[in-house]
Amino acid sequence: MTTAAAPAGLRGSPWPAFAGRRLARFAVSLWALVTAAFLMIHLVPGDPVRAALGMTAPAELVRARRAELGLDDPLWTQYGHYLHGLVTGNFGTSMASGQPVTQVIGDRLPATLQLAALAFVVVVIVAVPVGVGFAVLTRGGRRRGTELGFTSGSVLLAAIPDFLLAVGLVAVLAVGLGWFPVAGGDGPGAYVLPVAALTIGPAAVLARIVRVELLAVLGADFVRTARAKRLPARLVYVRHALPNALTATLTLGGLMLTGLVAGTVLVENVFAWPGLGSTIVQSILQKDYPLVQGIVLVYGIAVLLVNLLVDVVLGLLDPRSTIRES
C-alpha cells in the first residue's frame, strides 16, 4: 500500500512545520485568553451581580439575575456554556443596557479600528522617511550634533505617556487655540488630536530603530559593492539598503500596532471617542462584567492576530533566519 506523496512545492519545505508551530501557539494563547476572561467574573470579590445591581437591590432580583446568568451552576458547567456561547457568537447580555454584548461591541469596534489603523499608517509614513533621512545625514559618524539632537529628541518624545500627551494636546490646541474639537468623533478634524496622541511616541521610537538598522546595513559588503558599481544613491538606499533593514522595523512595527490598539483605551477616554476604549472604562465603573469580558476578548484576539501576521510576514521576508530558527 502506497502513501500519497507530498506536493512538490512543499517537499522539504520548512513552511508546514512553521505554520503548524505558529497555529499551535495561537490556539494555546487563545485558549488561555478565553479562560482568563471567563475566570474574571469569578475572581471579583463579592457577588458580581449584587455589585452590578447595587447594594439596595431586592434579594429576589439578585437571585433571579444570578439564575439568568447561570452563575448558580457548577463552575465547569458555566465554562462549557461560556465556550458554547463564544462558538455560536453569543457573548452574553450587558447588565447595564440589556443589549447583547456582540451588538454593543459591533457598534463601538469600528471607531476603535479606524483610530488604531490611522495611527499606525501615520507612524509608518512619518517614522520611516525620518529614520532614513537621519541615517543618511549621520552615516559614517558625520554630523555628531545632528545625531545627538535626533537621539535626545526621540527619547524625550517616546518617554511622554499617551494619556499625558493627549491631555496636553487638548489643553493647548483644542481649549487654548480652538483649532480642533475637544471631544467626539465627528468630522476629519476630530481625528487629528487622538491620532497625534497615539503616534508621536511610537513614531519617535520607530524612527530611531529605522536609523540604527539602516546604518548597520549601509556598512555591509553588498552596499559597498553597489556603491562601487556607481549606482545612483536613490537605488542604493531604496532598492538595496532599505529592504534589508525592514526585518527589525517590521517586528517593532507589529508590536507597536498592538500597543496602539491597547493605547486607544486611555486616549479614547480623554477625547470621549465613541469606541471600545471608552466603553470598557464605563463598563468597569458600572460593574458590567459580561461587557468587560467581551471587550477584553476583542482586544486580546486583536493582539494575537497581529502577532501571528507579523510572524508570517517576517517568514516571507527572511525565511532562512525566521522559519528555521522558530
Joined together, the cell numbers standing for residue 50 give 449584587
Q: Rounded to 10 degrees, what is the CA torsion of 182, 188, 192, 195?
A: 110
**Sign of the four-CA dihedral 132, 134, 136, 141:** negative
* Pick from 161, 269, 160, 257: nearest CA to 206: 257
What is the pTM (predicted TM-score) of this model? 0.74
Domains along the chain? 108-288 (1.10.3720.10)
Q: Which of 94, 89, 88 is nearest to 69 (CA)?
A: 94
What pLDDT score was predicted for residue 1? 47
Half-sphere exposure in the Cβ direction for 271 (13 Å, CA):
39
- Tell me the mean pLDDT per 10 residues along the chain, length 326: 49 69 87 87 68 71 74 79 84 79 88 86 87 79 79 84 84 82 74 88 86 76 68 66 69 73 81 84 81 87 82 67 52
Q: Which residue has the cell 498592538?
A: 258
Place of cell 471607531: 111
Task: Tell me how far apart the alpha carbons of residues 246 and 2 are, in angstroms, rounded to a whole number.
Answer: 45
> Between the CA of residue 153 and those of 2, 144, 171, 201, what are the distances in Å?
66, 14, 22, 11
Q: How many CB atoms lie within 10 A of CB 304?
A: 18
| 67 CB-near residues (< 8 Å, 6+ apart) | none
Distance of alpha carbon 184 from alpha carbon 37, whole angstroms: 29
pLDDT recorded at residue 3: 47
Amino acid identity at 141: G
For 44-100, where are the alpha helices, taking DSSP H only? Answer: 48-53, 59-69, 75-87
DSSP track, 120-133:
HHHHHHHHHHHHHH
